[in-house]
Amino acid sequence: MGLPEGFTLYDLRHTGHTLSTQSGATLKDTMVRAGQSSEKAAMIYQHSNLARQQEVAAGINARVQALRAKAKDSASGTDLARVR
């Protein structure tokens, strides 16, 4: 079948859990899909890697930049108080 040495069906479970959460599913969504009743069991099957961590960091950076731009365009509380 062309599968790596030592491959098990649980490897698919790990992959499924990881891809599910990376696609935006919540932990509960993933638990339901996998038929699990405990968060601990579900967490065992989820993984992260450097590429995913870089995606998360880029998302955080984009959010911070957007908030900074919004704050720059609006007056601060001090500026509003000085106008009065």
pLDDT mean values, one per 10 residues, the chain (84 residues): 86 89 90 91 88 92 91 72 65
Which pair of tokens denotes residue 29? 């969504």
Assigned token pair, 82:
């000085």
Contacts 24+ apart (CB under 8 A), 30-38: none
Sign of the four-CA dihedral 17, 40, 24, 67: negative
Give the pLDDT score at 80.
62
Q: How far is residue 46's CA from residue 58's CA, in Å, rounded to a whole number? A: 21
Predicted confidence at residue 64, as pLDDT, reads 93
Is the pTM higher than 0.85? no
